[in-house]
């Protein structure tokens, strides 16, 4: 069965004030309902005033997504009743959005793929519902209007995605693009939310809402694909409905029947005049975007395609790499893309928490040969664990000396007190079967013996020295 997926991405624009009033958007650490005024609460007699910076951010996104910028954009009222919408309607753009007909290229399941963008439009965020007693069966619900009126853009795609994996890749690329544009802060909770429309070819589509993270999109879609296909195999009809993603359980639950467009009774917002945005768009200069930076990393730093794609997948990661690339570009790219990112993901930490000075110090130790790669990984893990536990960490050199992880080099004379020679002799004596296997022609036995020596030296011996001494002693015997 062919899976068909389209996405609606809601991105909070990182402006200082709300879309139609002067209330601060920095509300996350403040008490509920303290960032409100008559305008964002929709009290009688209040009139909206448009935030120019939000419009500029929306146009910046439209240009970056290769959209056609509208000559004029117009706001409309979307009428529906819900507890988090205090005035009974949402100011959004319907017939005349700021940008239409764009695209974003991604690496799809079968190579490069172009995902069409239907539209980019502006709207205000509703308030936030706080469920007490559980999301499925709350005892009661509270409404916090601090978020009401925060400027949003909604990016709507055509149904061009064919798998949950492609959807995740698209969102990862979209998130990076928005970060590079400087229009949103990915570290803020709820700054990027996704609704997914998904169907199996020839059957009704289902909308899955409440996906609060781009990582959760793949989980929600995998569950929904499985649910729909199982229902079709049993001969059941797929209902056109809106479903709710319960992230804690990794499932979707039925919420309500899907509204049709006419149910919202759109009409032009009478308190806001149409805006001529095409003139503004001509003045906007875009920064270096992910694809351009990826090409530059490959040309300027000699990064491989995979490393360049990984390093430019997040703005802060790309900036971090460029701050340490002067030590050794290949070493920095390998350690950030292949080692540091994995350790951060395992601990659910962000690159912004990694102290630049300590990581530079670690790369210098690796480049000068003071520690082995194995010891470097151990030091990195210790430093990240310290950061996670107490917010600070010791220096890389201090950690190496405290743990006694500096490289142990074999002396030219190989005296009896040489630590590497001693570890090799002990390993040969303790592993007679491996020695016998090596003499019988099983070369993999040598790797086993090398591993035993490295274990005895806690990874501090140079692998080249270990191999050389082992071969010498085994051949002498």
Q: How many residues does the chain have?
A: 477
CB distance 178 to 60 below 8 Å: no
d(CA 319, CA 134): 40
In angstroms, the CA 153 to CA 57 distance is 9
pLDDT digit string (tens) for 256-268?
665 566 667 888 8
DSSP annotation string for 119-185:
EEEEEE---EEEEES-SSS-SEEEEETTSTT-EEEEEEE-S-B-SHHHHHHHHHHHHHHHHHHT---
Asked if pLDDT for residue 477 goes beyond 70, the answer is: no
Q: Is 354 helix (H, G, I), strand (E, B) or coil?
A: coil
The mean pLDDT value for 451-461 works out to: 73
Q: Which of 52-61, 186-195, 466-475 has the highest mean pLDDT?
A: 52-61
* 152 within 8 A of 99, measured Cβ to Cβ: no
pLDDT in tens, 161-189: 999 999 999 999 999 999 999 998 887 87
d(CA 295, CA 300): 9
What are the pLDDT digits (tens) for 52-67?
A: 999 999 999 999 999 9
In the three-class reduction of DSSP (H, G, I as helix; E, B as strand; rest coil), residue 362 is classed as helix
- Residues 8 and 16: beta-carbon distance below 8 Å: no
Task: Please report which confidence band the pLDDT of residue 451 belongs to, taking 50, 70 and 90 as the band edges.
Answer: confident
- Quote the CA–CA distance of 149 and 90 in Å, as a whole number: 9
- d(C-alpha 324, C-alpha 337), whole Å: 13
Query: What digits encode the pLDDT tens for the residues 275-333?
Result: 888 777 778 889 999 999 999 999 999 999 999 999 999 999 999 999 999 999 999 99
Separation between Cα atoms, residue 108 and residue 408, nearest integer Å:
47
- Structural domain spans, the chain: 3-281, 290-403, 419-476
Residues 418-449: tens digit of each pLDDT: 677 777 777 777 778 877 777 777 777 777 87
Mean pLDDT of 462-470: 72
Q: Is residue 109 a contact partner of residue 162, using CB atoms and an 8 Å limit?
A: yes
Q: What is the pLDDT of residues 82-107, one digit of tens each?
A: 788 888 888 999 889 999 999 999 98
pLDDT tens-digit series, residues 220-239:
899 989 999 999 999 889 88
Dihedral sign computed on CA atoms, order 175, 181, 183, 188:
positive
* pLDDT classification of 135: cutoffs 50, 70, 90: low
For residues 61 and 365, give the distance between their C-alpha atoms in angstroms, rounded to a whole number: 42
Pick the residue with more confidence: 469 or 346?
346
Q: Residue 363: enclosing H or E segment and its boundaries?
A: helix 356-367
pLDDT in tens, 372-419: 888 899 999 999 999 999 889 999 999 988 888 777 666 555 555 667
pLDDT of residue 359: 95
Q: Please give the model's pTM, rounded to 2 decimal places.
A: 0.82
DSSP summary character for residue 261: G
The b/e string for 352-367 (b: 16+ C-beta within 10 A; e otherwise) is: eebeeebbbbbbbbbe
Helix (H) / strand (E) containing 106: strand 99-108
Position 192 scores a pLDDT of 87
The reported pLDDT for the residue numbered 401 is 86
In this predicted structure, what is the pLDDT of residue 83?
A: 82
Chain CA centroid to CA 317, Å: 11
User: CATH number of the domain at 419-476, please?
Assistant: 1.10.10.410
What pLDDT sits at residue 308?
Answer: 95
Work out the burial of residue 296: count CB atoms within 10 Å of its CB; fewer than 13 is exposed, 13-18 middle, 19 or more buried. middle
Query: Average model confidence (pLDDT) for the chain?
Result: 86
The confidence score (pLDDT) of residue 31 equals 92
- CB 41, CB 167: distance < 8 Å: no
Burial class (CB in 10 A: 0-12, 13-18, 19+), 391: exposed
Which residue reads 């965020």 in tokens?
Answer: 125
Which pLDDT does position 476 carry in this prediction? Answer: 66
């Amino acid at each position: 069965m062919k899976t068909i997926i389209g996405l609606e991405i809601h991105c909070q624009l990182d402006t200082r004030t709300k879309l139609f009033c002067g209330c601060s958007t920095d509300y996350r650490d403040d008490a509920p309902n303290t960032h409100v005024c008559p305008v964002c609460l929709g009290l009688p007699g209040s009139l909206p005033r448009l935030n120019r910076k939000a419009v500029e951010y929306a146009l910046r996104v439209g240009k970056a997504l290769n959209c056609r910028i509208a000559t004029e954009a117009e706001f409309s009222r979307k009428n529906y009743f819900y507890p988090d919408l205090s005035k009974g309607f949402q100011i959004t753009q319907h017939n005349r959005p700021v940008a239409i007909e764009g695209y974003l290229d991604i690496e799809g399941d079968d190579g490069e793929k172009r995902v069409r963008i239907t539209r980019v439009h502006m709207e205000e965020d509703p308030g936030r519902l706080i469920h007490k007693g559980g999301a499925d069966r709350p005892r009661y619900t509270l409404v916090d209007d601090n978020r009401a009126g925060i400027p949003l853009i909604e990016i709507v795609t055509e149904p061009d995605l064919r798998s949950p994996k492609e959807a995740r890749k698209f969102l990862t690329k979209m998130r990076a693009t928005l970060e590079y544009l400087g229009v949103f802060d990915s570290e803020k909770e709820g700054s990027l939310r996704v609704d997914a429309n998904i169907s199996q070819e020839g059957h009704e589509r289902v909308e899955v809402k409440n996906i609060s993270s781009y990582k959760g999109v793949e989980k929600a879609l995998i569950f929904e694909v499985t649910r729909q296909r199982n229902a079709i195999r049993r001969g059941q009809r797929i209902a056109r409905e809106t479903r709710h993603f319960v992230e804690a359980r990794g499932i979707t639950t039925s919420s309500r029947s899907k509204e049709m467009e006419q149910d919202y009774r759109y009409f032009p917002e009478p308190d806001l005049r149409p805006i001529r945005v095409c003139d503004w768009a001509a003045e906007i200069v875009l920064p270096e975007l992910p694809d351009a930076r990826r090409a530059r990393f490959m040309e300027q730093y000699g990064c491989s395609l995979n490393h360049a794609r990984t390093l430019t997948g997040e703005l802060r990661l790309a900036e971090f790499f460029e701050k340490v690339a002067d030590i050794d570009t290949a070493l920095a790219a390998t350690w950030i893309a292949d080692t540091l990112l994995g350790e951060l993901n395992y601990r659910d930490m962000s690159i912004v928490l990694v102290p630049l000075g300590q990581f530079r110090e670690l790369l210098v130790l690796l480049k000068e040969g003071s520690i082995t790669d194995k010891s470097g990984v151990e030091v990195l893990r210790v430093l990240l664990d310290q950061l996670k536990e107490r917010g600070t960490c010791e220096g890389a050199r201090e950690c190496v000396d405290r743990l006694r992880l500096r490289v142990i080099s074999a002396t030219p004379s190989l005296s009896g007190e040489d630590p590497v020679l001693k570890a090799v002799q002990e390993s040969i004596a303790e592993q007679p079967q491996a020695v016998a296997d090596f003499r019988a022609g099983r070369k993999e036995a040598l790797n086993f013996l090398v591993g035993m020596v490295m274990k005895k030296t806690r990874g501090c011996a140079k692998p080249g020295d270990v191999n050389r001494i082992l071969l010498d002693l085994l051949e002498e015997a």
